[in-house]
Chain A
């Protein structure tokens, strides 16, 4: 939780709220990449693309 709080504070200080949706989408993609690294979830990624 402290991480999320700190990250929001960072966006506030940097005035970069516009990064938030990009971060969410990239995190989602990034998360998928992490999950699918040599795992059984791998086939799932093809349906996303």
Chain B
């Protein structure tokens, strides 16, 4: 019995240790031989798990491919973006192993490592499918193109992240003109004109400040490797000849320093301020207020469905005074889109019926993803009636019995000096929004676009006489959610990103009774102490 217990203990310790180590990206066992049996098994795995995106013949044209951006990789032409080999070369088997194991962040390619996902692929299964994938491109059987001849290996380990290293990296960023494409702040806002990659699809320059979307990993080592190998098929070059290894490490550290870490606040706390709601972005009141980062997803709830949203996070602040409440919304958007062409809007009728080909929108064929086509826009949404308990309108524009109040801001209106923000009523996503009467419009907005980022302040009186308005009562948890549109990403109407419900609360000062109770506590305890001390002193 005792022996059994010890065995159990050892097993538990072993198990907890083995799960703590993040294995998987690098094979733990030697690579097995590519036998015909391995290939046959790889073919079955490919058919079951990969073919729907990458296509039955590996050309990247599977039935799900048309609705994704970036599109699945075409395996037939032997061009692979993420490698540890010199620019233009094929990837090593280990490179493919890494991609399959951990996936590519921000794309449809997810991790397949069985340590991360219950029904993922074992190490052996990953090798099998890699051997099969390599049969699609004739380049892999060409001995002259052997990728193992051109492996890029740093001669030393990384330079640790430090202020000095970041400073040096910044100088290199300027000197190497990374900003020409990636923008001064790294938000991917450097090049305006449309360019196409080797596969013929529009290039979207990486916003390096959002680590959750950096495809092949956001650690310094990953970033270093991209500088050293380039990204095949795109204008991203290799800097292996133009920058010394040390310089590439400093640059990687600088890029790392630009990465934004979203906070995990669950409630937006609006602080009470004295004086007016600041309508300027530099005002220290905003810097001092609390921040909440809200994640957004593509609108995939109803046709037309959109799984390529550009805006996936909005940073929100709020303050209020006795009369008004103001929200500051900030989000990354590389281009300032202030034109709206209604005639180019998508007609949802084509794909909204049952049995239609698909209810998702093809980003490359159906949507006009061009500059100067659609406006940038954002909206704040609240329930009109404050919920009883936790009951709320549906987060997707409410429903007939539970309408929502939505403040819709439009960039094109703002720059042309018209009313930029309007109060609307929503009764479900099937109904168009209803603009409230002119006399019931009380929202005011101010906006600024700078260096790939929008900032918009929207304010409104906390209480209004209008029965179709949300009333902001102090101390109440008021649900709010967001809708966002990036015009040059083809977004308009229901092609948008949206968030589910979050809470905003107008913080009140601590009630006097709390202080009174605390005072009683202090006095009471002191009294008890005095009584004890006196008793002890008595003989």
* Pair from one complex: no
> Which of B's residues lie within 8 Å of A, judged by CB?
none
